[in-house]
Amino acid sequence: MTVRTVPVVLVAGHLGVGKSSLVNHLLRHADGVRIGVVVNDFGALGIDAMLVAGQASSVTSLANGCLCCVTDADGLSGVLADLVSPAAGLDLVVVEASGLAEPRELVRLLLASHDPHAVYGGLVAVLDAGAPDLEHARLADLVVVNGLDRCGAAALDEVRAVAAGAVVGTSHGALDPALLVDPVRRPQPSQLTLDALLREADGEHPHMAAQSVSFTSERPLDAGRLAAFLESGPRGVVRIKGIVRVPDGGGEGFDEAPDVWEVQTVGTAIRVRPAPGRLDTRGARLVLIGTDLDEPALRAGLTACVVSDDDPAPSQHAALALTRYRIDLTSA
Ligand SMILES: Nc1nc2c(ncn2[C@@H]2O[C@H](COP(=O)(O)OP(=O)(O)OP(=O)(O)O)[C@@H](O)[C@H]2O)c(=O)[nH]1
């Protein structure tokens, strides 16, 4: 049986860069995605708590299912356990770090929590377009350069030159939630949800919509070439998900290893697990999600991963290049 997992996304950045604006935008554009928010408020005047709670606490009573918890770093694991439990029914948990929190420490805390229902959804670093912190850009899986309305887009190239993950420019934190989580189809409520009402009342900060590129191959992909493609952090790509068959030389002790894998990436964070049986495939099906995608380049990159007749037979443990990113989410 496959355990249901909820991605937990960390949002970090210096004081006043627009973290709360980003979280509020996600909540207001949730469109059926049930988002839980953790405000990691280190006593910094409680501003985050007020801003987020002002809207999220009233959302708790709606079908939308948003909720808000205030915590400090020590309480993170306990709060996360509640939020990601199947009973909470959430699709995404966003942890907003206070401007004082060290992103690396929060990532460590999250990875150390070992909750079977939580899966690391990536570190989103919000940077000020006027004075981007390039150290944060190097750490993050997704970099949001915020404040383009004030400062223009000049910082984007500077950030892209050093960022390991994808880089997106925003104004007022207007990040498309589809960059972080798949849209969820749920029956439409008979009346407007709170997120729709808030959007109408506030006016919009339009966000650059996420794009996607689908790639299908009838043949397996070479694990080494695919891993290199994923590790390269293709430009503009925030998330990749799909099913891939990779050939393996079948080294000793590896006979039981499956050949078909589910692959998910967020920025530079890669994770794979054995594909559920019904998703068996002869080759590969991948979806790449991001902004400003260079579709021909992405297709060329993935096509180059397809195993050809000219390739040598796979070496022993060939699949390890990819399967070393395995996280075991499968329970007996
Ligand atoms: N003009 C402009 N103002 C912005 C933008 N993003 C945020 N702001 C404003 O900047 C101020 C700080 O934004 P927040 O979203 O609270 O920033 P934060 O990172 O959560 O701040 P802390 O919680 O203090 O760390 C607020 O007054 C926002 O309305 C933007 O892109 N353009």
Identify the pLDDT of residue 162: 94
Atom of ligand 1 nearest to the CA of 149: 32
- Residue owning the nearest CA to atom 21 of ligand 1: 16
HSE-CB at 123 with a 13 A cutoff on CA atoms is 27
Residue from 20, 70, 128 to probe ligand 1 pocket by mutation (most atoms less than 8 Å from CB): 20
Residue 68 Cα distances to 27, 30, 45, 94, 192, angstroms = 11, 14, 17, 10, 21
Contact 217, 300 (CB under 8 A): no
- Candidates 199, 202, 254; CA nearest to 223 is 254
Task: Write the CB contacts of 272 (distance below 8 Å, at least 6 apart in sequence).
Answer: 261, 262, 263, 264, 322, 323, 325, 326, 327
Atom of ligand 1 nearest to the CA of 174: 31
Number of other CB atoms surrounding residue 32 within 10 Å: 18
For residues 76 and 93, what is the distance between their CA atoms, to the nearest angstrom?
A: 12
Query: Residue 21 Cα, ligand 1 centroid: separation in angstroms?
Result: 6
Atom of ligand 1 nearest to the CA of 15: 25
pLDDT digits (tens, 9 = 90+) for 267-283: 878 888 888 766 667 89
Contact 137, 162 (CB under 8 A): yes
- Residue owning the nearest CA to atom 25 of ligand 1: 15
For residues 249 and 247, what is the distance between their CA atoms, to the nearest angstrom?
A: 7
Q: In what order do the strands lie in the sheet containing 142-146?
A: 67-71, 35-40, 92-97, 6-12, 118-128, 142-146, 166-170
Atom of ligand 1 nearest to the CA of 96: 20
- Residue owning the nearest CA to atom 5 of ligand 1: 172
User: Which residue ranges have their beta carbon within 6 Å of ligand 1?
Assistant: 13, 15-21, 47-48, 99, 146-147, 149-150, 171-173
State the Cα angle at 117 between 112 and 120, rounded to 5°.
50
Query: Residue 127 Cα, ligand 1 centroid: separation in angstroms?
Result: 11
Identify the pLDDT of residue 161: 93
Atom of ligand 1 nearest to the CA of 126: 19
Identify the pLDDT of residue 257: 58
Alpha helices in the chain (DSSP H): 19-28, 47-59, 76-84, 103-112, 134-139, 148-151, 154-162, 194-202, 223-231, 295-303, 320-323
ipTM of the complex: 0.97
Task: Write the CB contacts of 199 (distance below 8 Å, at least 6 apart in sequence).
Answer: 28, 29
**Token pair for 162:** 């050093």
- Residue owning the nearest CA to atom 23 of ligand 1: 48
- Candidates 37, 30, 23; CA nearest to 193 is 30
Query: Residue 15 Cα, ligand 1 centroid: separation in angstroms?
Result: 9
For residues 70 and 51, what is the distance between their CA atoms, to the nearest angstrom?
A: 12
SS3 of residue 95 by DSSP: strand
Please tell me the total number of residues recorded for the chain in this structure.
332
- Residue owning the nearest CA to atom 32 of ligand 1: 147
Residue from 10, 20, 21 to probe ligand 1 pocket by mutation (most atoms less than 8 Å from CB): 21
- Residue owning the nearest CA to atom 11 of ligand 1: 16
pLDDT digits (tens, 9 = 90+) for 37-68: 876 543 333 444 444 444 443 232 222 333 34
Query: Residue 171 Cα, ligand 1 centroid: separation in angstroms?
Result: 10
- In the chain, the amino acid numbered 247 is P
Q: Which residue stretches of the chain have pLDDT < 70?
A: 1-2, 39-76, 98-101, 113, 185-208, 249-258, 277-280, 316, 327-332
Over the Cα atoms of the chain, what is R_g? 20
For residues 52 and 24, what is the distance between their CA atoms, to the nearest angstrom?
A: 7
Identify the pLDDT of residue 144: 95
Identify the pLDDT of residue 332: 28
Query: Residue 147 Cα, ligand 1 centroid: separation in angstroms?
Result: 8
Residue in the block written with tokens 């891993």: 227
pLDDT digits (tens, 9 = 90+) for 191-206: 555 555 555 555 555 5
End-to-end CA distance of the chain: 6
- Residue owning the nearest CA to atom 12 of ligand 1: 16
Model-level pTM greater than 0.80? Answer: no
Atom of ligand 1 nearest to the CA of 150: 1
SS3 of residue 82 by DSSP: helix
Spell out the domains of the chain, with CATH numbers in brackets. Answer: 6-202 (3.40.50.300), 211-323 (3.30.1220.10)
